[in-house]
Amino acid sequence: MKKIITSILALLGLAACSQPAYDNAGFEVDSFTTPSGKMVRIHALVHSSIRIEYDGKEIQIDPVTKLGEKTIDYAAMPKADYIFITHEHHDHLDTAAIRILSGDNTQLITNQSCADILGYGTVMANGDMLRVADDFTVEATPAYNTTEGHQQFHPKGRDNGFILTLDGLRIYIAADTEDIPEMAELKDIDIAFLPCNQPYTMTVDQLLNAARMVKPKVLFPYHYGQTDVSGIPSQLEADGIEVRIRHYE
């Protein structure tokens, strides 16, 4: 049975690959293939900052130039075709990074709060869907806290997670959220990014619950700070979820 599952994942471009490649800047890179054979390369930058290359397009998620002692040189990267900002906190919204990555044709997609701060941007609210190209759609998903005393960090209805569907490959970027019931409604998720650091996002147990609701083929814990996520792969093995730990501290 294990060989059968591995073969199916290989056909989907999601075969088990616990060891990443590295790009020229030293960032870990995971490669996937869409159903029609297009390449998707995901670079693990830092924390919640993700760079995605897809079919000649550059996609940046929550780019930040500096977090703690780590600095990201966005000037060494191509201009972004699309920038997605999930919410207004400093480790997600960085005007310097946006400025460096923006070119004449860059499209910035975010929530109302960030658009108000920036003075521009395509606004999506929870539940909205946007087709940004013939083979690229975006869905805005809820992202919020539910634990008593934590709701003020990410109130319900303000922030977005995003599902990027690239030529049929569905990537769920949960943003700062806990294991909310809306996750059970998500369908056909190939790759998921789920956050794991209290008090702002999830505990390890909450992440495990979220993963079992979302049922991605491949899971990247991210935004985990000092949280120990090393035990997550073995805890989800029986669920058939491949977990890849990258440097998303």
Residue 158 belongs to a domain: yes
Residue 248 belongs to a domain: no
**pLDDT tens per residue across span 66-91:** 999 999 999 999 999 999 999 999 99
| SS3 per-residue string spanning 75-124 | HHCCCCCEEECCCCCCCCCCHHHHHHHCCCCCEEEECHHHHHHHCCCEEC
Residue 192 belongs to a domain: yes
Residue 165 belongs to a domain: yes
Here the CATH number for the domain that contains residue 210 is: 3.60.15.10
CA-wise closest residue to 188 among 164, 207, 161: 164
Q: How many domains does the chain have?
A: 1
The domain in which residue 12 lies consists of: 2-243
Per-residue pLDDT of the chain in tens (249 residues, 90 and over written 9): 433 333 344 444 444 446 899 999 999 999 999 999 999 999 999 999 999 999 999 999 999 999 999 999 999 999 999 999 999 999 999 999 999 999 999 999 999 999 999 999 999 999 999 999 999 999 999 999 999 989 888 999 999 999 999 999 999 999 999 999 999 999 999 999 999 998 899 999 999 999 999 999 999 999 999 999 999 999 999 999 999 999 999
Task: Specify the pTM.
Answer: 0.92
Residue 249 belongs to a domain: no
SS3 call for 138: strand
Both tokens of residue 117? 């701060």
Question: What single letter denotes the amino acid at residue 128?
Answer: D
